Structure 1
């Protein structure tokens, strides 16, 4: 088994090397699982006891090392406040949860191999893996950061067809090439021809070359429709850990306005400010926002811009006379209050538009699974925001300027969800404004990964991205996924860009994760096969 564990570690190393933000290494993902598949196959055919358990731990080892190496910044964020040993202990939760689900997929694959053909078993493996990734973006502990298809974010020229399949198309592609290559190598090593070698070779070449070729053609031929709009993104560089200790909300607002003026033009239509950019000592009452000095200061700033709008993150709340939501808390006199991590659009009219962040960070903005997981609060509190229950809205909404331009106000963590961002676009968003605060993670790869993942949303929907990050990295991404401008980390600045608005809908925008649902249905079918009595392909008396 020692050699098998070394193979599992080799897969983990290849996956890490291929993962963003390391540049130009993404194609390694197409071969990264081959060593693990070799280890699993050798375990199946070896004279071992408890093979299913061994396969589980082999795949868990790969996932654990890969995840830990790629999202180590989770520990970095907590270590600023907690003792090192406590930070390490709590970090094991996100480092190990996804690997546990990955290992479960391999364990089910082994059960299929005992009963059915290798083709059926591999179909089951891919379906189980897609099901794990879909679960990990849907349940209360959602953290789809390590979805396989995200791995090509640093080499977007190769995955322009995400405009049809979304990131799950990348997941399936990675698995398809790895399976083909594994079969080629295994048959060569064992000197067998269960599958015609020539056909297998042709299938392998087609699986690798065809998607890349199609994507490169799409990338080179893609042209944006000219529909210009002048946009500014601001990066104020307010330290999130000392925000309320050394700077007042009023001072923060002045910084935002001054930076905006340095690059604003007479025809600027949108000024994008980062997450929680507008605040007050006790948050801002949305129903009374017009009475706040911050609102008047923003209006005064917009006097110099005929068609100007400010789209900004805001810390807000609403008061109800009945408990309208499960997150509303009683605060006396039979009144209830809901706090929001929100976005607001301000223009020179009396109209105000708010959006309440829907994809809340587990623990930091919502407590997953209620009090049963209260012990996880210290972990999630350092992903950003304040530990506790935030209010939200059920679905995204578009913020419209007075001239009719629709902007998608995507707040921080929400930008990881492809189908959710596509819903903004289905509702009329002509460009995507990401407002975030990546300073919680420090100068780690977390901020770089978050920026690069935004490229995937640009490709899926063929929309420009205007990204305002409090401490960096801010920038603009065009409809092909190219980063046209980007700021430096930890630098107060503002940049402007003429972007092209788009109203056309891609296949992915129209139908979302349709491609994924097909594999989920396949996964249901393979589970049915597992419980259905059937003669075994090979007998394994030692489980």
Structure 2
């Protein structure tokens, strides 16, 4: 029996070797690795689908091998998070990782399988099929439900390749689509290799096209180096441990300890940066309610006393409760972002987090089945906000509109587009990445968040509990970055443009998927027409 299983895995391992190679190429070309295989990482899988695969089922399983491999490499931190955040034993956490790898990115094998089916259905050639698979992949990755949205477009900003400047035209999803089309182009060149002159011509065209995008991005980025305003903001990174955060959230102490640490660090930072205009604390940094109608509590008094000594306003994550809510309902509590003055008075309505983390901030289906909350009382169940909103701050006879993002709301392009449409001047992202340790996730989360600043061309400041805290200007300049898992504070000069125009991406560039769909239908229609004329 054992020999039979060994023989089976040897056979399947050899059969799907190119799919495994593609998974390794993708996984080692994504953040935090250099993008060494960016334009050909999916090519081995797709070539297998058009040259070796004989059935839709076989293509699907090849794609599954690829997505499992790349997910295991790039998102191994799921196991750490399940252990640190979910408090699961390591054995269960590893099983959770394997389940995540098996199921989370099934749009990759689905695109390959659909490509194989459509090739047979419309009698497509090998090269058109490569582009069909690339287009299917590009469309599916935009709509497929995933916990952590990612794609290869983000690699450009991570690697500082100027192509990222084109994201204000088509978004980083659009740049990812370009990467996938380049992968299909490389595959077509491979299939042309017997026609040497033709293949070399396409190599030259591919290199020229990529170079044109790099040069074009560099030139385009210069248009956003115009600033006419600035504000100085100092970030406080207190490096509060996971256990202290949990105990504070559950009301089991540590609220005073956490509040005092942030206040002390803020006062120390002010001595170093006396020209600071405003301070920014991370997600739920203030471990209590901060609403105007709840001021006067022990911890808000500590905060007010600390801020009054420096006479500066504060943007901070905290908890919020509606004034007329029922305190017995968990839904009355929100994960929120506040803008307060030096006496802790609310300067505008708090922003309530809209995109909640499943099982971390809400229990799926609990709204329809409240009994689940009784069965699983240890799962937080925050209220859901009403969508993106700005917070207005009077500064030097003008008003600065801060567009708040809490944690991974910064990963959703549509969320930040709405903030831009609402008149945001500066984006502010508050995050707690302490649950991910020193894995790949802090860098992945960072650059995926910074990408939003390029799409809407607004500066973004990011304050985290354990790092990485930083800021990025509208032209793409990333300022100083904090270390991981250390107490730290830093001042940022946020230059911005008063009443900056909306980018093409915000106005309509995010509808580029229509062009992808038209290209897909054209390829399929052309293949069907060619097959019919050939039969005639």
TM-score range, shorter chain: 0.7 to 0.9
Distance 1:371 1:485, change over 3 A: same
**Which residue of 12, 20, 25 corresponds with 2:23?**
12
CA distance in 1, matches of 2:441, 2:453: 19
82-91 or 166-175, larger mean C-alpha shift? 82-91
CA distance in 2, matches of 1:315, 1:418: 25
After TM superposition, give the deviation of residue 123 of structure 1 in Å. Answer: 4.5
Query: 3-state DSSP class of the match of 1:402?
Result: strand
CA distance in 2, matches of 1:233, 1:20: 24
Q: Which position in structure 1 is the counterpart of 2:3?
A: none
167-176 or 212-221, larger mean C-alpha shift? 212-221
Query: 3-state DSSP class of the match of 2:96?
Result: helix
Conserved 8 A contact 2:170-2:505: yes
Query: 3-state DSSP class of the match of 1:410?
Result: strand
After TM superposition, give the deviation of residue 517 of structure 1 in Å. Answer: 4.3
Conserved 8 A contact 2:352-2:385: yes
Conserved 8 A contact 1:21-1:448: yes
Conserved 8 A contact 1:287-1:318: no
Q: Which position in structure 2 is the counterpart of 1:359?
A: 355
Counterparts of 1:133-212 in structure 2, within 5 Å, are 133-136=141-144, 139=145, 141-144=146-149, 146-158=150-162, 159-188=164-193, 191=194, 197=199, 200-212=202-214
Counterparts of 1:27-46 in structure 2, within 5 Å, are 27-44=36-53
CA distance in 2, matches of 1:372, 1:185: 53
CA distance in 1, matches of 2:314, 2:412: 25
CA distance in 2, matches of 1:69, 1:272: 34
Conserved 8 A contact 2:410-2:449: yes
After TM superposition, give the deviation of residue 346 of structure 1 in Å. Answer: 0.7
CA distance in 2, matches of 1:427, 1:207: 36
**Which residue of 261, 266, 290 corresponds with 2:267?**
261
Structure 1 stretches of 5 or more lacking a match? 322-328
Conserved 8 A contact 1:477-1:485: no
CA distance in 1, matches of 2:506, 2:317: 25
Counterparts of 1:76-155 in structure 2, within 5 Å, are 76-80=80-84, 81-114=87-120, 115-118=122-125, 121-136=129-144, 139=145, 141-144=146-149, 146-155=150-159
Query: 3-state DSSP class of the match of 1:343?
Result: strand
Distance 1:31 1:402, change over 3 A: same
Conserved 8 A contact 2:362-2:379: yes
CA distance in 2, matches of 1:483, 1:151: 15
426-435 or 479-488, larger mean C-alpha shift? 479-488
Distance 1:439 1:527, change over 3 A: farther
Query: 3-state DSSP class of the match of 2:394?
Result: coil
Matched, 1:442 2:450: no
Conserved 8 A contact 1:156-1:456: no
Q: Which position in structure 2 is the counterpart of 1:270?
A: 278
Give CA-to-partner distance per residue, 1:273-329, whole Å, 9 cap, x none.
11111123xxx27463223343344343443555x32111112333656xxxxxxx8
Give CA-to-partner distance per residue, 1:441-479, whole Å, 9 cap, x none.
112111121112223122212222211110111122222
Q: Answer 1 or 2: higher relative contact order, Cα 8 Å, separation at least 6.
A: 1
Counterparts of 1:294-313 in structure 2, within 5 Å, are 294-304=299-309, 308-313=312-317
TM-score (norm 2): 0.84
Q: Which position in structure 2 is the counterpart of 1:345?
A: 339
Query: 3-state DSSP class of the match of 2:277?
Result: strand
Give CA-to-partner distance per residue, 1:99-121, whole Å, 9 cap, x none.
32211111111111111434654
Q: Which position in structure 1 is the counterpart of 2:230?
A: 228
Counterparts of 1:426-441 in structure 2, within 5 Å, are 426-441=421-436
After TM superposition, give the deviation of residue 84 of structure 1 in Å. Answer: 2.7
After TM superposition, give the deviation of residue 142 of structure 1 in Å. Answer: 4.2
Conserved 8 A contact 2:50-2:130: no
After TM superposition, give the deviation of residue 56 of structure 1 in Å. Answer: 0.6
After TM superposition, give the deviation of residue 70 of structure 1 in Å. Answer: 0.3
